Structure 1
Amino acid sequence: MSERGATFKDVFAVKEFRVLFGSFALLVGGDSVKMLALSVLVYDRTGSPGLSAAAYMAGWLPYIFGGLFLLSLADRLPPRGLMIAGEVVRLVVCLLMAFAGLPVWAMLALVLVSGLFSPVFGAARNALLPDLLPGDAFVLARSLLGVTSASAQIGGMALGGGILALTGPAGALALTAGLSAVAAVVLRFGLPYRAARNAGGRGTIRTTLRVNRGLAADRRVRGLLLAMWVPVMFLAGAEAVLVPYLGAAAGVALAAAACGMAVGEFVVGRFVAPGTRERLSLPLAAMIGVPWLGFALQPGVVVAAALAALSAGCMAYQLGLQRRFVTAVPEDVRGQAFGLQSAGLMTGQAVGAALVGGLAEVTGTHQAIAVSGGLAILAALALARPLRPELP
């Protein structure tokens, strides 16, 4: 394997990647605005903090169902059309929530149902990257998308707060609809048509279940998936307990974590040589848990934010697994494989939040966060085999 890493010039020289990059930034920023606006809208109508929080999380819940039953669509339909369909669905949903006068239950149901297809739309985009950018350029592209995701979430929340103050929830939702319209146009005229990767198979659900079973049965693929899911599950669990631990100041620590993730993805993706990056996967995965151990000493806001940032920065360990993952999965089901990776990651974070939150009820918040850090370290060590680079 060449030790020369790709550069930003290499990646952005490809027009199709520039299109994907721009549309992805619009997607993440728009989704952050949408979920914030929906949460505020639900709270304004009901006065219920619980329903408001449920509205904020509603966009993520369908990932497990879409990942289990619909992911084969990512390989059975042309990728450009799928991504455009995702933007159109988001546009329609936002306009309905903003101006149709729907009751709260109908808005939540609309977000849940439309969210079932989110893993499919994302899988189509991720599976296209190795076709556009082979080798280390693909890994750097994934790094850039990770940086963009963290940055756009922070920017989207700030933008959403400003728009909400000026126009209210309806205006913020209309803004998101506009961003989706722009992204759809950019995708339509910026990406060339590509045929479906694998048009075979009978029945979407049947094919999805069959391919998921096949991927899970492959020891190499299964190990890589678990390596990408489990350490992050405990990181998400620790982050979820920051809110009861820090109260209103939790936003500072969560923003620091997003910044830490962006910096880690940027540095490891751009400045670490490919071979070294793969060798760092195991130590970085184990390091995810180390900062959380410091919560046993009940740190204040500043130290807690620094520890959260350090842990999130170590999520860049996943970049060392990306090349191997692309090589391990069959090309004709690559879309579903990437979708399964994302769906499992989202589901694992929800499970981690529930587990560590439940533990906090018994032990207290700072102890639960410290235990979560210890479990993250143990998980990384237990997954040492897939986290280590393969011998030539």
Structure 2
Amino acid sequence: MRRVTGPALPAGRFRVFFWAQLVSLLGDGVAILAVPLLMLQLTGNALLVALSAAPRIVGYLLVGLPGGALADRLDPRKVMVCADTVRAASFLALAVLALTGHATVVLTLVLAFTSGAAGSIFESSLTVIIKDLVPGTELIRVNSYLQMASQASLVAGPALVGLLTALVGIDAALAFNALTFLCSVAGLLLLPRPADHAKPAKPSAGLLADLRQGIHYIRSTREVLVLTLLPAAVNFVLAAETLIVFYARTGFGASETALSVLVAVGGAGGVLGAFVAARVAAALGEQVPVVLAVCGLGVSLGLMGVVRSLPFLVALNVLLLGFSMMANVVIQGMRQRIVPRELLGRISSTSRVLMLSAYQVGVLLTGSLTQATGGDPRWIFVVAGVLSVVAGAAVWYGESRKARATTAIPQE
């Protein structure tokens, strides 16, 4: 079983690039609230506010797959510079429109979705460039740092929006977001040119041919197929988490303050999960943390359906998001290590699109079933938890069986 070791983060220009990415992640956290808040000021329409909060997901679903192919075809650094330049320009335009009073619903949505699409392309290239810059033994460690920052930004970003909006205005929050993406561009420009092994492969017949090649690789490579289908299956059952706030309100009479605590400590759980991922992988190897995390989040979901106290629900939410993030960090590191560099963008984007699609289907299904059965989501949590534990056990059984079969082969 592979063990993960390695020193701290690489020094030099990579460190500047890394910190620039942390600033950029803060910008992602700012965008989560800044754009819906602008739309709320413009219209007060709940549907339009919801639409303005979804550009990242829609961006992945619309351009995620072509973005992965571009990351394989082109220099990922150049792709990331272009993507973050587009994001910076989009938020700067939103800031100017908000400041001058010329912001409209259409312009806000167009610029938000443009930024979301650029963000999906950026993340596919980020996966590739991390593989180029980081030794295989440190991939999980670096991914854990990035995910910790991403989870922390979900708390710090909205808080910063609230502060800037109260002191200056929503335009200040939007302008700050543009600045974070420019910091990312500066860090990218400081990186050295890619080594020969990291240069993109020569283009094939076209993007569609590239995508078919990536799908064929996933289907024909068992370990990569598992690393693609397992996160999608987990995200499908994890969609039950969207009912937690509803459950806390209807089942336990939680106040607005209690609901805020419930959500905030969930983010803290994500930070904790990302923090321990590399350490658990270093101690137990890569496979065990994934199985433990998938089964752990299943147990957390299942217990949510039978718990009778709000504090226990809060604690289970911490565990749920912690286990979810631990699985995500280790799986991403494994994928970066296993997949050939010339296919990594396509494989990563395909997995991400499947995960998001499965999550959205799960959200629709769990919400509809809860509504159709009288508004009681407890059985949804139990069923989702059982399915997650079954998925983790199936992976463990399959990998153990594979290991036994390999060991049984006589050695010459």
Query: Does TM-score exceed 0.5, indicating one fold?
Result: yes
1:54 counterpart residue number:
51
Question: What corresponds to 1:84 in structure 2?
Answer: 81
Q: 1:74: which partner in 2?
A: 71
Counterpart check, 1:221 vs 2:224: yes
Structure-2 separation of matches of 1:102 and 1:23: 29
Q: Which runs of 5+ in 2 are unaligned?
A: 250-255, 407-412
State the 1:151 CA deviation. 1.1
Secondary structure of the structure 2 residue equivalent to 1:297? coil
For 1:57 and 1:206, locate their aligned partners in 2 and report how far apart those are by CA, in whole Å: 30
2:253 maps to which residue?
none
Q: C-alpha offsets along residues 91-150 of structure 1, whole Å, 9 cap, x if unaligned?
A: 111122222324213321332244234332111111122222223211111111111111
Q: CA deviation at 1:380?
A: 2.5
Counterpart code for 2:299: V
- Name 1:367's counterpart in structure 2: 379
Distance in 2 (alpha carbons) for counterparts of 1:45 and 1:342: 32
- 8 Å contact kept, 2:4–2:285: no
The superposition leaves residues 34-53 of structure 1 with CA deviations (integer Å, 9 ceiling, x where unpaired) of 23111011111111123212
Which of 90, 94, 99 is matched with 1:97 structurally? 94
The answer for the alignment partner of 1:140 in structure 2 is 141
Partner of 2:252: none
Residues 389 and 284 (structure 1), Cα distance of their counterparts in 2 relative to 1, 3 Å cut: farther
Q: Deviations over 1:257-297 (max 9, x none)?
A: 22112112212313552544432321321111111222223
Q: Percent identity?
A: 25
Instruction: Give, in whole Å, the separation in 1 of the partners of 2:208 and 2:46.
Output: 36
Q: What is the root-mean-square deviation of aligned Cα atoms in Å?
A: 2.5
Letter in 2 for 1:71: G
Match of 1:6 in 2: 6
Q: Which residue of the other structure, out of 298, 301, 315, is the alignment partner of 1:289?
A: 298
Letter of the structure 1 residue corresponding to residue 318 of structure 2: A
Q: Counterpart amino acid of 2:7?
A: T
- The code of the aligned residue for 1:288 comes to L
What stretches of structure 1 of length at least 5 have no aligned partner? none
CA gap of 1:385–1:229, structure 2 versus 1, over 3 A, is farther
Matched, 1:264 2:273: yes
Supply the AA of the counterpart residue of 1:23: A
Q: In structure 2, what is the Cα distance between the partners aligned to 1:200 and 1:84?
A: 20
Asked if structure 2 preserves the Cα contact closer than 8 Å seen for 1:231 and 1:377, the reply is no
Contact 1:227 1:386 in 2 (8 A): no
List 4+ stretches of structure 1 deviating above 4 A: 1-4, 385-390
Three-state SS of the structure 2 residue aligned to 1:273 is helix
Structure 1 stretch displaced more, 253-262 or 340-349: 340-349
> What displacement does 1:251 show?
3.1
The yes-or-no answer on 1:255 pairing with 2:257 is no
1:378 maps to what in 2?
390
User: How far apart, in 1, do the equivalents of 2:386 and 2:149 lie?
Assistant: 29
Residue 208, structure 1, aligned to residue 211, structure 2: yes
Contact 1:238 1:369 in 2 (8 A): yes
Could you tell me how far 1:228 is from its partner in structure 2?
Answer: 2.5
Letter in 2 for 1:351: V
1:278 aligns with 2:290: no
Larger displacement relative to structure 2 (28-37 or 295-304) = 295-304
CA distance in 1, matches of 2:263, 2:400: 29
Q: Residue type of the partner of 1:52?
A: V
In structure 2, do the counterparts of structure 1 residues 270 and 389 end up closer, same or farther at CA, with 3 Å as the change threshold?
Answer: farther
Structure 2 CA distance for partners of 1:17 and 1:338, relative to 1, 3 Å: farther
CA gap 1:104/1:72 in 2 versus in 1, 3 angstroms: same
Counterpart contact for 1:66–1:118, Cα < 8 Å: no
What TM-score do the two structures reach when normalised by structure 2? Answer: 0.85
After superposition, the Cα gap between the structure-2 partners of 1:18 and 1:358, relative to the gap in structure 1 and judged at 3 Å, is farther
Larger Rg: 2
Change in 2 beyond 3 A, CA 1:233/1:258: farther
- The question of whether the paired residues in 1 share the 8 Å contact of 2:151 and 2:267 is answered with yes
Moved more, 158-167 or 374-383: 374-383
Greater mean deviation of Cα atoms: 268-277 or 50-59: 268-277
**Deviation for aligned residue 1:254:** 2.3
The residue number in structure 1 matching 2:240 is 238
Aligned equivalents of 2:3 and 2:387: distance in 1? 33
Partner-residue secondary structure (3-state), 2:201: coil
Whole-angstrom CA distance in 2 between matches of 1:106 and 1:303: 44
Q: 49-58 or 70-79, which moves further after superposition?
A: 49-58
The reply to whether residue 345 of structure 1 matches residue 355 of structure 2 is yes
How many equivalent pairs are there?
A: 387
Q: CA 1:292/1:44 → structure 2, altered by over 3 Å: closer, same or farther?
A: same
- Residue 281 of structure 1 contacts residue 317 of structure 1 at CA under 8 Å; is this kept in 2? yes
Q: Which amino acid aligns with 1:367?
A: W
Q: CA deviation at 1:344?
A: 2.8
Range with greater deviation from structure 2 (270-279 or 177-186)? 270-279
What is the deviation of 1:62? 1.9
Distance 1:294 1:98 in 2: 45
Q: State the Cα distance separating 1:181 from its structure 2 match.
A: 1.5
Q: Which amino acid aligns with 1:168?
A: G
Q: Secondary structure at the match of 1:122?
A: helix
- Following superposition of structure 1 onto structure 2, how do residues 181-192 of structure 1 map, counting pairs within 5 Å? 181-189=182-190, 191-192=191-192
State the TM-score, normalized to the length of structure 1.
Answer: 0.89
